[in-house]
């Protein structure tokens, strides 16, 4: 997963008509659950190579936290242009299968 910063994310979302669907993994570096979720996301990324998955460190993303009222980490936001910049928010990192099915259903 490629790291993205808050500025790059908001620039991408300004052009809602041209970006392709993508997933954004929300984490903080000292969160143990985030590390486990990240390992699951790497497996999902290998299973869905045609879907763009990015990650963002929420310690440096206060506008993102405020704009989307982020509830906790880890989290996964699925952005699809059809939703006009409003992501599907996922906070349950149950299993690789669970994440795979949600991503596949929302942005494929």
Q: Could you read off the pLDDT of 24-72 as tens digits, one per residue?
A: 999 999 999 999 999 999 999 999 999 999 999 999 999 999 999 998 9
Q: How far is CA 105 from CA 42, 48, 96, in A?
A: 18, 12, 14
Give me the pLDDT at residue 19, please.
73
Give me the pLDDT at residue 38, please.
97
Average pLDDT in the chain: 93
Residue 2: pLDDT above 80?
yes
CA distance 73 to 75: 5
Neighbours of 1 (CB within 10 A): 17
pTM recorded for the entire structure: 0.93
Of 106, 99, 8, whose CA–CA distance to 46 is shortest?
99
Of 63, 69, 74, whose CA–CA distance to 26 is shortest?
74
Which one is predicted more confidently, 15 or 34? Answer: 34
C-beta separation of 85 from 13 below 8 A: yes
């Amino acid at each position: 997963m490629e790291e993205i910063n808050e500025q790059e994310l908001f620039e991408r979302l300004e052009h809602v008509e041209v970006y392709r669907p993508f997933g954004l993994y929300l984490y903080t570096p000292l969160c143990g659950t985030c590390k486990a979720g990240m390992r699951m996301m790497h497996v999902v990324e290998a299973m869905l190579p045609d879907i763009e998955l990015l990650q963002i460190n929420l310690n440096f993303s206060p506008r993102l936290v405020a704009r989307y009222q982020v509830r906790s980490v880890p989290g996964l936001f699925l952005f699809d242009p059809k939703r006009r910049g409003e992501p599907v928010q996922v906070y349950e990192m149950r299993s690789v299968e669970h994440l795979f099915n949600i991503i596949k259903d929302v942005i494929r």
